[in-house]
A and B are shown apart, each in its own frame.
Chain A
């Protein structure tokens, strides 16, 4: 059995890599069709095998499988291994990743058609899938870090996929550099774990957590910190980078310069949730640090509200969804902060489905409008693209968290958990997540109305939008199904069963009373969140359907908040002035004084000049006259004599 699971896991992880290699190395020879067939085939195998693993884990209840398959190296008594940890959490992640990846692969056939980098695109996407699968199946921090960096590289390559576009290369660089900041903290966290527990294996680390509860470390003199808090915060810095939390969120909107399928797969469904997954995986550690949880809660809740507000003033359809992703990631992180790890993973899964759906739907619209992304140049598309419209509507309803759509169950669990928690910052966080649900509903339906309703604002003479081909709308339909049903289906086993579904993987969150999907929906009528959502949708209808002049009026009246939102709270400007310009001028000064003057001119050229000077001097010795040479010998001889006779005299 162990052997079987081990082989299956290796196959799941490596098949996409094989696909990436085939499409990347042989793509030019195989042509477009065989490249996408090969990569889709390999990802499909991974998906089917993941389903089989899910059957073993969820239905046959096999015990947690933790096996090292390869010893990479041993250094200082610490083993560095390639190993797999297969339990409910990783299998759930496997399902999410392979499912979305498969659909995105299929969708890309239509979206990337005719692109000169077609094979390269499929190769990158498959490589991303491989790295993400390696990340979620890891049983140690080294492999986790490998996957972590692997998805980072894939993200960089795919954001900058159209590398002729300046904004794309700038976006990819920004994503990469901001993630380096997070990775730096993450790496320090792993180092702290290695220093504290002398192991980088999950199980070995978790087994020792209880022995280090009171252990402290002094980073700043006279201020001892709990080791666990330090580790937790450092790891969270990594999660902030990858999962785009304030203030490291600035890269995610820029990442929309990449092709839309990538935004769906990497920047909505999978990679950005790696940080959520990682913290949930580390829940035995985080559970012992209320300080870290408090920080996480406040940062997550702030992100949930304030990035959602920015989405209201955006006009680029992809940017709206990008800010919405930031906001939803904020919800997940807030759930983690409230110790509701299961709720975070729950929202992660449902969000993966409906957000991928929204992105792919937006992609379908963009395709129909000939790569126009500005919503002010759309409108009235619902009659022309019925399938896209319907699926987009279902995705929007799920995102707004209206019952009975999947988003409702997961988001409700989060709001509930934040309401219950008592750690510092809980009241503020509750306010944020609650207000956030109004904001979410507003911007979601704003984008829906602007895109599909209202009067057409595109150039009707030249542009004739029509429904996309089946490879594009089929994934939309396939994603719409879980977007609607997944929440109701998973809510009971995940949150209210005893034991809960993920009990072996994460620290379970205790719910007040066992409930069913139906009873939750009934109760929601009495919850403030439900009415906030309804009023959000209504407000959007008022502003964009009933009285289209209203937004302009608000902009005029609320010019200052509008300005702040347009400027995105000044994060970008701050980064540009302080970090970009600052490091540029620092580099300038180093380059000029340090490198050119001191190193180049003084040391490098200076030593060269000194040698040439000495050489010319030495050349003068060589006069060609025998008596000069003899004199030199005599001087040498006499010097030697003095040297040896002088001490003898004394």
Chain B
């Protein structure tokens, strides 16, 4: 009786259940068949992600349905975010394969950990209760710590993992403390019930609620890597192997946006005026610090880390506006950002020679002479990050700024534009290095794995094609918020 209702109830969670099952299978397959075919965890992982993408795509047009006694809810937004979480993960796992094999890192463990992290992300966007939300966040983070440290011989990676772990624990503690305070105010852990209580407007004007809000926002800001809670990002991005960085920098940010929507839009839809100010501060600090400090970086990964801090600032601008259009713009921005980051770090991973990563911007000197196609792709990525039309980055920036202007925050939009001008400097400096500087010495160019080359080409061209025909994705992002 109970079992049958459970299964009848569980259909909305089908993608998550399927992913969990597949993850277990990958684990077992790695254990038993890796001698036979070392790549079997990789193939199964990609198969699992493709399956989940299909399941989520099917769920995209369904109305919102809850499961597990209101703990879980599938709606168009969560399905959309699931699709892109899995898609970006698929790309990052694809880039990772050749690097893992070359450096003899354990393939099976990497992919199993990665899949668990993806499962955590999917829970973050679909849970309808603060507790599973938090569990999802932790499920997403913990495998990441391990993945960073996976290359045991690398001291800098271990340091990065340690830093991320400690700082992450601190942030989790803040978030959890915030949730407990929230429970004290609402006497419920359910988002739906919290929303009802907040909408009555009685519980919101007291010190406890104010503290809860601040702690939760601090936790969220940490996970986004928004200033002043960003300090971990440059060290971790640089220290982690590029294949981990590109995973760490893309999919979890999409999940984090869904997580933020749960707290701010679904649980406290009426309290926009209270949290708006904090996000303005976070956004301005992130845009300023990210763009300005990136100017003097000589390490490409570190530069991209600062760039991602600034991108988080721009994404938050969409949230600040507090309108449907603003949320849609933020979603569009985070998706665009994920693909740009993927391509950016994938370049570093691809150009690595015998396990030594091409981290320095100097390593890109004269890339055009050695490999013009790759140089072109890097140029597209850089232009997209700088927000130059006709790349997707332009429309991402345009839509968040549009949302801001619509709610009369013109000064903020103008400020954002000024910072993006500063940002354009270091992106274009990379292009200049590739196209106008002579290569330093004629070292042999690494042979690129075919699958990763195709993937990076698709990824780079996607930035261009979505920039030329952005309306489909924009409409999709708008539709899920109606």
Contact = CB atoms under 8 A, between A and B. Distances in A.
B234 interface: yes
A611 B295 contact: yes
A633 interface: yes
Given A611-B292, A619-B296, A628-B231, A633 B218 contact: yes
A618 B231 contact: no
A645 interface: yes
Given A615-B293, A615-B295, A637-B174, A624 B228 contact: no
A355 B206 CA distance: 97
A640 B218 contact: yes
Main secondary structure of the interface of A (DSSP, over half): helix
Interface in B336-383: none
Interface in B215-248: 215, 217-218, 221-222, 228-229, 231-232, 234-235
A628 B167 CA distance: 11
A624 B274 CA distance: 34
B166 interface: yes
B211 A641 contact: yes
Contacts of A624: 235
Contact of B214 (A618, A632, A641): A641
A68 B189 CA distance: 76
A640 B170 contact: no
A626 B167 contact: yes
A177 interface: no
Interface in A608-636: 611-612, 614-616, 618-619, 621-622, 624, 626, 628-630, 632-633, 635-636
Nearest to B291: A611
Contact of B231 (A614, A619, A621, A641): A621
26 contacts: A611-B292, A611-B295, A611-B422, A614-B293, A615-B292, A615-B293, A616-B296, A618-B289, A618-B293, A622-B235, A626-B167, A629-B231, A630-B167, A632-B231, A633-B222, A633-B228, A636-B221, A637-B215, A640-B278, A641-B214, A643-B277, A643-B281, A644-B211, A644-B213, A644-B278, A648-B206
Nearest to A627: B166
Contacts of B294: 615
Interface in B136-174: 163, 166-167, 170-171, 174
Contacts of B442: none
A611 B297 CA distance: 13
Contacts of A635: 228
Nearest to A623: B231
Contacts of A612: 295-296
A621 B215 CA distance: 23
B29 interface: no
A630 B214 contact: no
Nearest to A642: B214
A644 B271 CA distance: 13
A602 to B, nearest CB: 17
B218 A629 contact: no
Interface in B273-307: 274, 277-278, 281, 289, 292-296
Main secondary structure of the interface of B (DSSP, over half): helix
B384 to A, nearest CB: 22
B166 A626 contact: yes
Contacts of B289: 618
Interface residues of A, number: 25
Given A629-B167, A630-B170, A637 B232 contact: no
Interface residues of B, number: 36
A644 B232 contact: no
A637 B218 contact: yes
B207 interface: yes
Contacts of A618: 289, 292-293
Interface string B404-445: 000000000000000000100100000000000000000000
Given A611-B422, A618-B293, A637 B214 contact: yes
Interface in B251-271: none
B396 to A, nearest CB: 23
Interface string A587-618: 00000000000000000000000011011101
B205 to A, nearest CB: 8
Contacts of B214: 637, 640-641, 644
Nearest to A608: B425
B420 to A, nearest CB: 13
B180 to A, nearest CB: 16
B210 interface: yes
B163 A645 contact: no
Nearest to A631: B231
Nearest to B294: A615
Contacts of A636: 218, 221, 228-229
Contact of A629 (B163, B278, B425): B163
A650 B277 CA distance: 18
Nearest to B215: A637
A391 to B, nearest CB: 63
Contacts of B215: 637
B210 A615 contact: no
A626 B163 contact: yes
Contacts of A629: 163, 167, 231-232
B235 to A, nearest CB: 6
B452 to A, nearest CB: 31
Given A612-B295, A644-B210, 16 more contacts: A611-B292, A614-B292, A616-B296, A618-B293, A621-B231, A629-B232, A633-B170, A636-B218, A637-B214, A637-B215, A640-B217, A641-B210, A643-B278, A644-B214, A644-B274, A648-B210
A29 B214 CA distance: 77
A628 B234 CA distance: 14
B291 to A, nearest CB: 8
B296 A615 contact: yes
Contacts of B163: 626, 629
Interface in A333-369: none
B227 to A, nearest CB: 8
A648 B232 CA distance: 32
Interface string A59-103: 000000000000000000000000000000000000000000000
Cβ-closest 3 pairs across A and B: A629-B231, A636-B228, A618-B293
A632 B207 contact: no
Nearest to A633: B229
B281 to A, nearest CB: 8
B228 A648 contact: no
Nearest to B278: A640
B144 to A, nearest CB: 17
Nearest to A629: B231
Contacts of A614: 292-293
A633 B296 contact: no
A631 B229 CA distance: 10
Given A615-B293, A629-B163, A630-B170, A645 B210 contact: yes
Nearest to B305: A622
A622 B297 CA distance: 12
A24 to B, nearest CB: 34
A645 B218 CA distance: 15
A608 to B, nearest CB: 8
B207 A648 contact: yes
A629 B234 CA distance: 11
Nearest to A624: B235
A320 to B, nearest CB: 57
Residue with the greatest number of chain A CB neighbours at <10 A, chosen from B166, B167, B293: B293
A618 B230 CA distance: 12
Residue with the greatest number of chain A CB neighbours at <10 A, chosen from B232, B274, B294, B295: B295
A76 to B, nearest CB: 27
Contacts of B206: 648
Contacts of B235: 622, 624
A112 to B, nearest CB: 44
A622 B232 CA distance: 9
Nearest to B228: A636
Interface string A4-26: 00000000000000000000000
Contacts of B221: 636
A615 B231 CA distance: 15
A630 B231 CA distance: 8
